[in-house]
Amino acid sequence: MEVRIKLQYDDSRVKNWRQFATSLAMVITLLLPFTAVLPGAQSHSEVVVCIGNPLAADRWLVEEWRQELGRIVESSGRELRIADCDEPGAMQVYFMRIHPFENSALGAARTRGEVVLPLLELYTEPVAAMLGTRLPGVLGRALARVTAHEMAHYLRQETHHEAAGAFAAQYTAGLLRAARPAYFALR
């Protein structure tokens, strides 16, 4: 499934989306691959990530996110480096409230045609609703796991999903809370 959205959001529209209710319906949620800059010049052992909108994200949340993403990348035999977004080849991560059209989406990688771009979005509202908490330690870790999933879309240049595992289209709250970092290792 591919969903395309405009690169620029109209903030006033986003604010109008209804709030999430924590319900059983939230237990299983779609992860969308949907948008794509050509694979950058990163060395194979290094994964370079930048935060596209650092002022929009809570500092402690970002710190927990960074630590867990580091563990995931490490378990993949690679090394995470947080860079500035003007660095060529850096995967840009945006912390957003909610996808404007797919309000159950936890994250997305943008695509252009068949190409997956290094533009990744994380949707904090649906992830928090699914987890039932906004505690940075829990939410940040879960967002790192969603990030790893979206990174895999880019690194593999694949928009489809596998039937099960970290590259499946749907996650459970339990998976985002309890699975070990290595479960989300980049392959």
Query: Strands 91-96 and 46-51, how do they pair?
Result: parallel
Residue-wise DSSP of 33-77: EEE--------TTEEEEEES-GGGS-HHHHHHHHHHHHHHHHHTT
CB 15 to Zn ion: min, Å: 26
CB 117 to Zn ion: min, Å: 14
Q: What is the torsional sign of CA 84, 184, 37, 119?
A: negative
Alpha carbon distance 160, 157 (integer Å) = 9
Alpha carbon distance 89, 181 (integer Å) = 24
Q: Give the nearer residue to Zn ion in terms of CB position, either 100 or 137.
A: 100
CB 31 to Zn ion: min, Å: 4
Q: Give the nearer residue to Zn ion in terms of CB position, either 1 or 7.
A: 1
CB 158 to Zn ion: min, Å: 9
Cα of 170 vs its chain's centroid, Å: 13
Across-strand partners of 40?
none
Q: Is 126 one of the binding residues for Zn ion (CB under 5 A)?
A: no
The footprint of Zn ion on residues 24-43 (CB under 5 A) is 31, 33
Q: Give the nearer residue to Zn ion in terms of CB position, either 70 or 107.
A: 107
Q: Give the nearer residue to Zn ion in terms of CB position, either 31 or 144.
A: 31
Q: Give the nearer residue to Zn ion in terms of CB position, either 1 or 56.
A: 1
CB 142 to Zn ion: min, Å: 15
The pair of structure tokens assigned to 80 is 């995470």
Alpha carbon distance 179, 167 (integer Å) = 14
How many residues bind Zn ion (CB under 5 A)? The answer is 2
Binding site for Zn ion (CB under 5 A): 31, 33
